Amino acid sequence: MAKQEQTNNPHNVCTWKPVSECKNCTIVGRLKCRCGSGDLLHFIGLFLSFLFPALIGIVLSGYSWSLLGWAGLAVIFFGFWEIRILCSHCPFYAEKGRVLHCIANYGCPKFWKYHPEPINNSEKIQLVIGFILICGYPFPFLILGRQFILSLLTAWGLILFFWTSQKYTCSKCVNFSCLLNRVPREVVDEYLKHNPAIRKAWEENGWQIGVVTS
């Protein structure tokens, strides 16, 4: 069993170790460092609050053909682009295998190698661009189609998605270098102490354990 666990966890990341090893962890409950179905369903449900009114509005506006472009963009972004610039830096990505198991992009293919270091500025800029393209895509069609109520519902769903994610997911997410991450620095430090390979990569990129920033 130990050999199998090591095979599936080549970077020795604590997220992929047996749960029994968490009993003495000082940050238990402060991070979503395990892939739970409840967290995944919560994330998907929030995103649907944005997606459903957008889909309905686009269809009613007469621009159904534009859904093909949105679907293609979503496949490119969530299946390839975001996976490289964001997900490949996440401890969930460290698991050996060709499919990602996490609390947001579960089931996406892993074409890229794992990057334990923080995301860089170029990747942050790309992430913002990707979010704008994905989230902003339906609004021109909704407005052109005069679906103003559904535009408001779509905007509200988007606000609800980001606000709730910030409060309940991003505040405990182990992908610490994401622009949306809100995990306290002292919790990040403790997680890095439990994961020497990640800590080494972060310190090589300027992170200092125990340093308080304003």
DSSP helix/strand/coil, 128: helix
Q: Is the pLDDT of residue 213 over 70?
A: no
Q: Indicate the pTM of the whole model.
A: 0.90
- Over pLDDT 90: what percentage of the chain? 83
Residue 214: predicted pLDDT: 55
Q: What pLDDT, in 10s, does the model give residues 157-169?
A: 999 999 999 999 9
Question: What DSSP string runs through 135-174?
Answer: HHTHHHHHHHTT-HHHHHHHHHHHHHHHHHIIIIITTT-S
Q: Is the pLDDT of residue 192 over 50?
A: yes
Q: Is the pLDDT of residue 21 over 90?
A: no
DSSP helix/strand/coil, 91: helix
DSSP helix/strand/coil, 106: coil
Q: Is the pLDDT of residue 3 over 60?
A: no
- HSE-CB of 98 using CA atoms within 13 angstroms: 0
Using the Cα atoms of residue 133, residue 131, residue 15 and residue 112 in order, give the sign of their dihedral. Answer: positive
Please give the Cα distance from 125 to 54 (Å, whole number): 25
- Please state, as a whole number, how many other Cβ atoms lie within 10 Å of the Cβ of residue 116: 21
DSSP helix/strand/coil, 82: helix
For the chain, what is the mean pLDDT? 92
- Please state, as a whole number, how many other Cβ atoms lie within 10 Å of the Cβ of residue 100: 20
Q: Is the pLDDT of residue 26 over 60?
A: yes
Rg (CA), the chain: 19
Residue 119: predicted pLDDT: 97
Question: From residue 199, how far is each of 176, 188, 193, 206 by CA, in Å?
Answer: 12, 10, 7, 11
- pLDDT-based confidence at residue 16 (cuts at 50, 70, 90): very high
Average pLDDT over residues 125-138: 97
